[in-house]
Copies of this chain bind each other. A is one copy, B any other.
Amino acid sequence: MSFNSFGHLFRVTTWGESHGPAIGAVIDGCPPGLPLSEADIQPFLDRRRPGQSRFTTQRREPDAVRILSGTYGGLTTGTPISLVIDNVDARPQDYGKVARAFRPGHADWTYQAKYGIRDPRGGGRASARETAARVAAGAVARRVLGDGVRIRGYLVELGGDPIDRDRFDWDQIDRNSLFCPDPDAAGRWERRLDQARRAGSSLGAVVEVVADGVPAGWGSPLYMKLDAQLAAAMMGINAVKGVEIGAGFGAARLSGEENADPMRPGAAAEGPRFLSNHAGGVAGGISTGQPVVVRLALKPTSSIRIPIETIDAAGQATTIATHGRHDPCVGIRAVPVAEAMMALVLADAKLMHRAQTGREAGFADLTQAARRST
């Protein structure tokens, strides 16, 4: 992990500011021979695209991705894949006020403190616009993972109002503009969001991402644990303030016997059967073969119309109200972003695993080892 690169073997470097000419990602280390064209990436960008409902920013960006290198004849060649997305609806003039004062909770002050200079146009590099590059890269990572691994995200809480797990319906997620698996909650959340939007306020949310089909054995002790990589990946998304795996903070309230995930013999090709998944699919930093489950808490965006006390560039007291185009709940569009980060972590883990062990997954060897030892 480096300043603007993510991953070790499947490595993504992103660049670009919110209101510059374009943003992009360079993917290094992609395996050769994978089918890849813009059409494989665009659908994921479309899911993240702003301006699709009244609950997201009204900035109109087609987010059309172009592949500038790394493929030949529709296949990846193993060389770097350069992805570029032009910024079409940039309005740098909206940000005169931001240039003059620091939005509390935003990166305005910290960038200025660190660098002594900042690009104030739409938050510059700190804008959530950068996450489009992540989503594009995540689509390529899914190619590396193949169809055996399925990654799906959704909201489980908005403005403190959680879904009812008993009403959970995978098919609902794409039927509302809030990635909500519980239709009742979706209705309540829409009303909450309308209210917040009208008040010039914003709301937080909790996103859950599940990866099915991850074989046992991915991830590496001790400082490249799969859960630690996921924690970094998710905490690095704008506005995220908390991450948990499996039972998460709830695990701290269970006894050892409640939290255990008992194991039973499984089908030979599938590894053991687990009777529960408090671990969220990771033990000792390595995947167990169960679904990998991560949740992330997103704060309400700090770009609100309600005035907040702050200081200006000269250090003097003032107040600021942010009137640009903003999401009333950044947690919504974080769903495809969090899915992408999951894909990036898993693709990297897959390559790291086969580097060290020469195998794609761990289980086959185990059963052989088991047979040898009996």
Contacts and interface: CB of A to CB of B under 8 A. Distances in A.
| CB-based closest 7 A-B pairs | A107-B284, A242-B244, A355-B355, A204-B252, A202-B256, A160-B253, A110-B286
A312 to B, nearest CB: 8
Contact of A357 (B17, B32, B221, B225): B32
Nearest to A361: B113
A351 interface: yes
Contact of A109 (B105, B202, B230, B288): B288
A22 B68 contact: yes
A4 B223 contact: yes
A90 interface: no
B309 A264 contact: yes
A248 to B, nearest CB: 4
Given A228-B236, A299-B259, A3 B20 contact: no
B159 A253 contact: yes
A247 B201 CA distance: 18
Interface in A180-194: none
A360 interface: yes
Interface stretch (A6-14, A48-56, A167-175): A6-14
Interface in A288-330: 288-289, 297-304, 306, 308-311, 313-317
A374 B101 CA distance: 12
B82 A256 contact: no
10 contacts: A1-B224, A2-B8, A5-B223, A78-B111, A114-B362, A231-B243, A232-B232, A242-B243, A243-B244, A251-B299
Given A113-B363, A299-B278, A82 B24 contact: yes
A114 B357 contact: yes
A153 interface: no
A118 interface: yes
Contacts of A26: 4, 13, 15, 26
A224 B301 CA distance: 21
Given A13-B5, A221-B79, A242-B244, A251 B315 contact: no
A138 interface: no
Contacts of A118: 72, 77
A365 interface: yes
Contacts of A204: 251-254, 259
B217 A113 contact: yes
Contact of A4 (B73, B79, B244, B310): B79
Q: Report the copy number of this chain in the oligomer.
A: 4
Most chain B beta carbons < 10 A, residue from A2, A17, A157, A235: A235
Given A77-B124, A222-B14, A304-B256, A264 B311 contact: yes
A313 B248 contact: no
A261 interface: yes
A3 B11 contact: yes
Interface in A207-228: 216-225, 227-228
A96 interface: no
A22 B257 CA distance: 32
Contacts of A336: none
Interface string A75-91: 10111111000000000
A297 B28 contact: no
A168 to B, nearest CB: 19
